[in-house]
Structure 1
Amino acid sequence: MPFPPGPAGATMCTSAARRPAGADLDDEESTMSVQLTPYLAFRSEAREALDFWASVLGGTPTTTRFGDFGVGTPAEADKVMHGQLETDAGLVLMAADRPDEIPLESENAISLSLSGGADDEAALTRWFDGLAEGGRVHVPLARAPWGDSFGMVDDRFGIHWMVNSAGAGASDASDA
Structure 2
Amino acid sequence: MTTRLNPYLNFNGNAREAMTFYHSVFSGELSLSTFGENQMSQDPSDAEKIMHGQLETDGGLLLMGADIPNGMSYTEGDNFSVSLSGEDEEELRGYWEKLSGSGTVTVPLERAPWGDSFGMCKDQFGVDWLVNISGA
Q: Distance in 1 between matches of 2:23 and 2:77?
A: 24
Amino acid of the structure 1 residue aligned with 2:54: Q
Q: Does 1:90 align with 2:90?
A: no
Q: Does 1:55 align with 2:32?
A: no
Residue in structure 2 matched with residue 20 of structure 1 by the alignment: none
Q: Distance in 1 between matches of 2:36 and 2:53?
A: 14
Q: Distance in 2 between matches of 1:99 and 1:65?
A: 11
**How much has 1:67 moved relative to structure 2?**
0.3
**How much has 1:108 moved relative to structure 2?**
3.5
**How much has 1:59 moved relative to structure 2?**
1.2
Superposed counterparts of 1:72-111, under 5 Å: 72=41, 73-108=43-78
CA deviation profile, 1:23-63 (whole Å, cap 9, x unmatched): xxxxxxxxxx3211111000111111111011111113101
Q: What TM-score comes out, normalization by structure 1 length?
A: 0.42
> Tell me, which stretches of 5 or more residues in structure 1 are unaligned?
5-32, 111-176
Q: Distance in 2 between matches of 1:109 and 1:71?
A: 20
Runs of 4+ residues deviating >4 angstroms: none
Residue in structure 2 matched with residue 38 of structure 1 by the alignment: 7
> Tell me, which stretches of 5 or more residues in structure 2 are unaligned?
81-136
Amino acid of the structure 1 residue aligned with 2:19: L
Bigger helix share: 1
Percent of paired sites with the same residue: 42
Bigger strand share: 2
Residue in structure 1 matched with residue 116 of structure 2 by the alignment: none
Residue in structure 1 matched with residue 106 of structure 2 by the alignment: none
- C-alpha RMSD of the superposition: 1.8
Q: What TM-score comes out, normalization by structure 2 length?
A: 0.53
**How much has 1:109 moved relative to structure 2?**
8.5
Q: Distance in 2 between matches of 1:58 and 1:107?
A: 25
